Amino acid sequence: MRWTVTMAGLLVAAGVFAGPAAAQEVRPADLSDERHAGYYYPAPQTEETYVARARTLQEASRTLRLGFITGFTKGQLESPTPIWFVIYAKGSDSEKMIITALEEGKIDTLYRARGLLAALTAMARQLPVFQEHGLQDWFTFFDLAKMLGFQQITVTDGKSYAHRVNIE
């Protein structure tokens, strides 16, 4: 799949590096502030926190996040490979990314969710902002999400499984 996203904010890497990242252990999801569960995905069974290496770009905005989603979807639609998952944004400022499987048996375990996120990391590492500044071996898809201002990513099979990653 091609990345067709052109975002001026991603072309400037100065100031986006924050330091080492740390992922916390997977734990039962805290649903105290959950309003999208039951509508866009089932209540997440688990969650974890990723402390990003990147900083949020100064230019990060709802418009930039929606531009990323639109560009990603455009790349999927232009690919000869059938689309089996979608990425979209929700929240009052489009700060919550949701990744939903469109086919039965996809993203239905934590391990499959992590596999998809690893594939998205491989794709993100091809972006010029990562390549030109030597970050392709260091930054992940979560770091890209942080740069764009996403605060959380929920991955779901669209039926009965969901996992949330909070991004700090």
Q: Is position 6 within any domain?
A: no
Give pLDDT, residue 156: 97
Domain with 107 in it: 16-29+37-167
Residue 16's pLDDT is: 45
DSSP string, 82-142: PP-EEEEEESTTS-EEEEEE-STTSS-SHHHHHHHHHHHHHHHTTSHHHHHTT-TTT--HH
Identify the pLDDT of residue 54. 86
Measured from the Cβ of residue 122, the count of other Cβ atoms closer than 10 Å reads 11
- pLDDT, residue 14, reads 35
Is 137 inside a domain boundary? yes
Residue 28 has pLDDT above 60, yes or no: no
Handedness of CA 91, 97, 101, 105 (dihedral sign): negative
In a domain, 4, yes or no: no
154 φ, ψ to 5°? -115, 125
Residue 30, pLDDT score: 53
**pLDDT at residue 63 in the model:** 97
Report the domain count for the chain. 1
Q: How far apart are CA 156 and CA 41, in angstroms?
A: 6
Q: How far apart are CA 5 and CA 104, in angstroms?
A: 28
Q: Which among 96, 120, 123, 127 is positioned nearest to 13, based on CA atoms?
A: 127
Q: Report if residue 9 sits inside a domain.
A: no
Q: For residue 11, tell me if it sits in a domain.
A: no
Q: What are 80-135's pLDDT values in tens digits?
A: 999 999 999 999 999 999 999 999 999 999 999 999 999 999 888 887 766 665 65
Q: Which residue has the higher pLDDT, 167 or 124?
A: 167
- CA of residue 34 relative to chain centroid, distance: 18
The Cα 102–Cα 87 span in angstroms is 11
Lowest pLDDT segment from 13-22, 26-35, 60-69, 131-140: 13-22
DSSP state of 44: P
Q: 33-67 pLDDT, tens per residue?
A: 566 676 689 999 999 999 998 889 899 999 999 99
Q: Is 5 among the domain residues?
A: no
Q: How far apart are CA 157 and CA 163, in angstroms?
A: 10
Pairing of strands 152-156, 96-101: parallel
Taken in order 42, 47, 129, 119, the sign of the CA dihedral is negative
